Amino acid sequence: MSKEYRSFYELLREAHKHLDRVEENLPFLNELCDRIEKRPNSQMIK
């Protein structure tokens, strides 16, 4: 494997790991956003 290809492959692997982590956290983040939106005095920034 060439050095450039190996570097690219490593970057892709890292990106994949980060995306997996984001995907795992999505339900939690959705829940958090729902709670924030339901607060009586919360004002959404537009």
3-state SS track over the chain: CCHHHHHHHHHHHHHHHHHHHHHHHHHHHHHHHHHHHHCCCCCCCC
Give the integer Cα–Cα distance in Å for 9 and 11: 5
pLDDT tens track for 1-44: 699 999 999 999 999 999 999 999 999 999 999 999 898 775 66
The pLDDT score that the predictor gives to residue 41 is 72
The pLDDT score that the predictor gives to residue 16 is 97
The pLDDT score that the predictor gives to residue 42 is 59
Structure tokens given for 12: 């892709």
| Torsion angle (degrees, nearest 10) of CA 29, 34, 35, 39 | 140
pLDDT of 46 above 80: no
Whole-structure pTM over 0.95, yes or no?
no
